[in-house]
C-alpha cells in the first residue's frame, strides 16, 4: 500500500462530492425528463469515477474521504435541489 497523501485525500473528497452532486442532479433531471442535463451529468460522472477507483485501489484509506465527499455531495444537492433548472414543459 502506498503512502497516504492529504492532498490526494482532499482531492478525492472534492471529486466525490462533485460526483454525488452530479448523480443527484442526474436522478432529479431523469425524473423531470430533462434528457440533455441527465446525459451531461452522467458523462461527467463516469469520467470522474476513474480517478477515485485508481486512488483507493492503491490505498484503502482513501475510501474515508471518498465516502465523506459522496455523502456531502448528495446531501447538498438534495437539500438545495430547488435551485436546479426546472422542466418548463410540465
Tens of pLDDT, residue by residue over 57-89, are 778 888 899 899 989 988 887 788 666 566 454
Query: So what's the pLDDT on residue 85?
Result: 60
Contact call for residues 31 and 41 (beta carbons, < 8 A): no
pLDDT of 67: 92
Q: In terms of pTM, does the model score above 0.75? A: no
Q: Of 25, 6, 24, whose CA–CA distance to 14 is shortest?
A: 6
6 SS3 class = helix
Average pLDDT value for the chain: 83
Q: For residues 39 and 47, is the Cβ–Cβ distance under 8 A? A: no
CB 57 within 8 Å of CB 8:
no
> Which pLDDT score is estimated for 14?
93
Amino acid at each position: 500500500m502506498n503512502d497516504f497523501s492529504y492532498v490526494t485525500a482532499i482531492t478525492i473528497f472534492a471529486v466525490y462530492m462533485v460526483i454525488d452532486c452530479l448523480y443527484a442532479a442526474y436522478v432529479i433531471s431523469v425524473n423531470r425528463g430533462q434528457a440533455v442535463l441527465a446525459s451531461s451529468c452522467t458523462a461527467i460522472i463516469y469520467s470522474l469515477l476513474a480517478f477515485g477507483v485508481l486512488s483507493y485501489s492503491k490505498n484503502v484509506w482513501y475510501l474515508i474521504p471518498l465516502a465523506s465527499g459522496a455523502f456531502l455531495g448528495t446531501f447538498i444537492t438534495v437539500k438545495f435541489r430547488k435551485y436546479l433548472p426546472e422542466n418548463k414543459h410540465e
